[in-house]
Amino acid sequence: MCGIVGLVAKSLVNQTIFDALTVLQHRGQDAAGMVTCDGNRFFLRKDNGLVNEVFRTRHMKRLLGNVGIGHVRYPTAGSSSAAEAQPFYVNSPYGIALAHNGNLTNAEELVEQIFREDLRHINTTSDSEVLLNVFAHELQRQRKLKPEPDDIFEAVSKVHQRVKGGYAVVAVITGYGVLAFRDPNGIRPLVYGTRSTPEGEECMVASESVALDISGFTRVRDIAPGEAIFIDLEGNVFTRQCAEKTQLTPCLFEFVYLARPDSIIDNINVHQARMRMGIKLAEKVKLMQPDHDIDVIMPIPDTSRTSALEMAKHLNVTFREGFIKNRYIGRTFIMPGQTQRNNSVRRKLNPIELEFKDKVVMLVDDSIVRGTTSKQIVQMARDVGARKVYFASAAPPVRFPNVYGIDMPSPEEFIAHNRSEDEIGEAIGADWIVFQELDDLKESVSAGNTDLIKDYDSSVFDGYYVTGDIDAAYLERLDQKRNDAAKIAPETTDHDHDHEDEAEADLHTEIR
């Protein structure tokens, strides 16, 4: 899971891209980067850290131009060094910078192809660099001194033929404009919008519509699966379907956890989808325990609040905020190691004793992955006097790894591994646990767009991978990269500098 943005404007784009990345920060807190283009010259700034840490005033002053792209990184497998931060850049053909959200499932095969057939060199472990080189090679094969939109779309078509997985992409081509495209299954989200200025029309593409909203862009529509959009320097928009076979199967976990509630993804209002999840949970509680003894329903901040509120409303149970969140602590789901996650939970949440004392409490969370946070929160509730602690998850048990850009851990590290739902409840210390049914979850989301969406990438819940290329051997290789033991490695020194020498992180190059 990462956040991407691309912009063609009539004035400097650095501040608008910065603002967009700030509201996409929830999609990645590991690193940030931005490339702008002024004439035939690229300007790049990227490093580990949050958006407001990576881009200081001195960096913003150097990011010149009316065209650019940006990225916030959330690493899956591989290195988390500053060298892996996006965007990546190649100087041939034309000069191309690219950033992407997702994961290529055939990246290792592509690296071999790129070396032996395309005669290109990959310098990092990032599949984004792989994707960039595949696109650059296919565009170079068009052999045009000045590429037309049709040439660019033809290159994207070739990318779809070679690349597998889930991916949403933004790229800037020096002297020509911004390109964006989405995988044939539409697994990762991508939307575009426009803004009218006295100088003319401006266009932005982004992972979520909230990035458009905060800068005054009007959402036009989502990019379709397999579709590409090219915005030239004058703001003219060209689109084409570039994949032979497409099916919209967006990631279901986007609506459960990843996306902001004020975003619209594939014409679905995320907030409303989460409201419906809460209603479905309430219906299941009524079915399982019509004479339940729940005194109060509390969300585990922040993602579950919408579902918890609707659940309380439909059960006619009091809704209370029982935990105060420290907003200066990152999302524990994203943290790379179990020790960091354990240490962060107590620093992140603190219970309000008054709301728990002598009550039967139903805690509501968006999902349970490792169970680390859930177990500690249940114990917190008991420590401050809860008589009973129930737990509800707005999603079904997570039992399978995600291969399309979300860092789900090794299956053995899931709390649901080889456990029934009741056993999961026992493992986290809850007196009773309620999980959303998968069909109910899909229905909660689909109600927002019944015309276009017939199914989802729900692989983390049911183990079905929509790209059709995932086997046991692939999952075993992925497991070796993602388990917590693999993530315990010596700290790199890429970010342990005072930023005085930024030659590797900043690029000022002229393409002639």
Q: Rounded CA gap, 367 and 238, in Å?
A: 39
Q: What phi and psi, each to the nearest 5 degrees, are found at residue 287?
A: -70, -40
How many residues does this entry show for the chain? 512
Residues 70/21, Cβ–Cβ less than 8 Å: yes
Q: Rounded CA gap, 384 and 352, in Å?
A: 8
Q: Which two tokens stand for residue 393?
A: 């998850």
Handedness of CA 220, 221, 227, 228 (dihedral sign): positive
Measured CA angle at 238 (ends 232, 243), to 5 deg: 125
Question: Tokens 């005085």 belong to which residue?
Answer: 500
Q: What phi and psi, each to the nearest 5 degrees, are found at residue 276?
A: -65, -30
Q: What phi and psi, each to the nearest 5 degrees, are found at residue 202?
A: -120, 155
303 annotated as belonging to a binding site for a ligand: yes
366 annotated as belonging to a binding site for a ligand: yes
Q: Which amino acid is at 312?
A: A
Q: Is 2 annotated in the active site?
A: yes
Candidates 101, 93, 141, 100; CA nearest to 117 is 141
Q: Rounded CA gap, 403 and 471, in Å?
A: 11
Q: Which two tokens stand for residue 355?
A: 């709301």
How many contiguous H segments (helices) and E segments (strands) does the chain have? 18, 23
122 HSE (CA, 13 A, CB side): 24
Candidates 29, 26, 142; CA nearest to 94 is 142
Q: Rounded CA gap, 318 and 394, in Å?
A: 18
The one catalytic residue among 2, 37, 242, 251: 2
Residues 172/250, Cβ–Cβ less than 8 Å: no
Q: Rounded CA gap, 44 and 98, in Å?
A: 11
Q: How far is CA 195 from the centre of its chain?
A: 25
| 3-state DSSP percent of the chain in helix, strand and coil, to 5 | 35, 25, 40
Please report the DSSP string for 61-79 in residue order.
HH--SSEEEEEEE---SS-
Q: Rounded CA gap, 272 and 93, in Å?
A: 45
Binding site for Mg(2+): what residues are annotated? 303, 365-366
**Binding annotation:** 303, 365-366
Catalytic positions are 2
